[in-house]
Amino acid sequence: MTSSATGAHEPGLLERERIIAKPGFNRWLVPPAALCIHLCIGMAYGFSVFWKPLQAALAGADGKPLPECSAGAVTFGEKAAGTLKALTATDCNWSQFDLGWMYTFFFVLLGVSAAIWGFWLEHAGPRKAGVVSTLCWCGGLVISALGVYLHQLWMLWVGSGIIGGVGLGLGYIAPVSTLIKWFPDRRGMATGMAIMGFGGGAMIGSPLATWLMGQFKTATDPGVWQTFLARAAIYAVFMTIGSFRYRLPPVGWKPEGWTPPTTSNAMITSKNVHLKNAHKTPQFWLLWIVLCMNVSAGIGIIGPASPMLQETFGGQLAGQPELGYLDLKKNEALLKIAVEIGAGFVGLISLFNIFGRIAWATSSDKLGRKPTYFIFFVLGAVLYVLASFAADWKTLAILVGAFCIIASMYGGGFATIPAYLADMFGTQFVGAIHGRLLTAWSTAGIVGPVIVNYMHDTRAAAGIPPDQIYSPIYYTLAGLLVIGFVANLLVRPVNPKWHMTQAEMDAEHALLHEGKEPAQSGSFGIGKGGLDLPAALFWLLVGIPLAWGIWNTLQKALVLFL
């Protein structure tokens, strides 16, 4: 569109140039915009709440659930054949194995899409990326709802798993470079606030989904497809609000009173590395290993946290320490108590995962990114060894405490890595570089669970008592952290030959339609009218649902202490 007065091009509603902040803009409006999106897409962690209802979606004339499509399957090949049948069959139910592939799609597509479209995102801006993420995530839920209604598993895979997975990737990385540019003085805290939301999404989404299914459920319908549609509508509202509240600082802007770090701190560069060169540096691949090992070690044990606790402590969880896990399984009443305690353990781990994202990332602003990861790897390895002893000693408090701290460092690793990348490669392409690094997450999502599940099943098949199965697994995960420690030890400042020249920076600004405005500074932060009424209201919009999710999780976790 062209202005009739000047003939100048007026940027469209979603264009990057449209969201450059005006003087007086409050930078504290940007983190809740990111949380609006992350709290919605973070429900990917909580999709298992639908597994049981979907496994019994079809019932026969007698009202009992129909057999699963893979009923009677024992080998992997038989299960795979059953899954292929389940993709289109309407006369049998889906198994957890069939539905669980959605998790794989979620996190593989998150990393892949972030890597593929990260460069586009940097040039399109966070508003356009947020809108595309909204369309993918919420549109995927609508397709999945239709898949549940028609009982077509392939529609859930394509809808939420693949299309929704792309929405996850774009929604996850969209705020990273934006927040780092708004908070150059507190990079870790800024990214920690946003990425905390991704960890908290399931705390809100899971109880909300359970409540919605209860409202929609009938004698013949578990209420899942209606819940998918309701969540798509709710998420679309929140994600659209977040997308349109994004703003970018003008070129050269910096917070009032803040002086950029001097070159005396070699681990924080004032230069920028182009996306096309970042993967050519050893620093990129060392940080890839750092993230992959930290996530592999954490996700490998967080996934089976509840059954791990039940197998290790058996009847002790129900006040009957003389009973092992196999005996516990024979007593339905005691098993129910153990399952509730296991669920409380999962809730407690979730809380530490979330608060670790903001606490560790914020601490890294003072400690430095490299020392923070040293703490993750050294303390994590020690805690895994301690957990092995706690399992042998049957000391529940020590094991729970160890895994809560490990969970906090698992979340902290996610939140600290964007700031680490900005320190190494500058802020110009940090969102896109972060997107490519997230392939480490996709890899870890396979490596960690495969190691733990393979070792568990192998030892169980060999007749090892359930309470003795996990000790070697803990030592193996500690070994992964040692690999991460070595990779972090080798991280050095990027060779100056990879830094962009001033001419390259000017060309990039021209490509982004950014002029050479003089450096600006102003009262954009807290303490200079930062948390004003609009900012406070926006924080309440995301804070109230988050507080509700935390309260629900705390209620589950209380069973560990009662």
User: Which is more confidently placed, 323 or 381?
Assistant: 381
Mean pLDDT for 283-289 is: 97
CA separation for the pair 92, 68 (Å, rounded): 5
User: Which is more confidently placed, 562 or 142?
Assistant: 142
Mean pLDDT for 536-544 is: 94
Residues 26-51 have pLDDT tens digits of: 888 999 999 999 999 998 888 878 88
CA separation for the pair 35, 132 (Å, rounded): 16
CATH of the domain at 478: 1.20.1250.20
Let me know if residue 391 belongs to a domain. yes
pLDDT at site 3: 46
Same domain, 189 and 283: no
Least Cα distance to 176 among 367, 361, 44, 31 occurs for: 31
Let me know if residue 4 belongs to a domain. no
Among 22-31, 95-104, 543-552, name the most confident range. 543-552
Same domain, 236 and 359: no
Residue 141 is inside which H or E element, if any?
A: helix 126-150
Same domain, 390 and 463: yes
Let me know if residue 418 belongs to a domain. yes
Residues 430-483 have pLDDT tens digits of: 989 999 999 998 898 888 888 888 888 888 888 999 889 999 999 999 999 999
Query: pLDDT band for position 295 (50/70/90)?
Result: very high
Instruction: For residue 17, give the DSSP letter.
Output: G
Let me know if residue 130 belongs to a domain. yes
Query: Considering 476, 495, 514, which residue would you say is the last residue of a domain?
Result: 495
Query: pLDDT band for position 72 (50/70/90)?
Result: confident
> Is residue 194 within 8 Å of residue 35, measured between CB atoms?
yes
Let me know if residue 265 belongs to a domain. no
pLDDT at site 374: 97
> What are the structure tokens assigned to 72, written together?
């009677």
> Is residue 448 within 8 Å of residue 300, measured between CB atoms?
yes
Query: Considering 478, 495, 512, which residue would you say is the last residue of a domain?
Result: 495
Same domain, 320 and 455: yes
Query: Does residue 220 carry a pLDDT above 90?
Result: no
Range of the domain at 427: 276-495
Query: Considering 495, 516, 547, which residue would you say is the last residue of a domain?
Result: 495
pLDDT at site 559: 74
Q: Supply φ then ψ for residue 2, to 5 degrees.
A: -115, 135
Same domain, 453 and 535: no
Let me know if residue 552 belongs to a domain. yes
Domains held by the chain: number:
2
Query: Does residue 7 carry a pLDDT above 70?
Result: no
Residues 379-415 have pLDDT tens digits of: 999 999 999 999 999 999 999 999 999 999 999 999 9
Query: Does residue 421 carry a pLDDT above 90?
Result: yes
Residues 109-152 have pLDDT tens digits of: 888 999 999 889 888 999 999 999 999 999 999 999 999 999 99
Establish how many alpha carbons lie within 13 A of residue 323's alpha carbon, considering only the half-sphere containing its beta carbon: 18
Query: pLDDT band for position 337 (50/70/90)?
Result: confident
Same domain, 213 and 327: no
Same domain, 85 and 150: yes
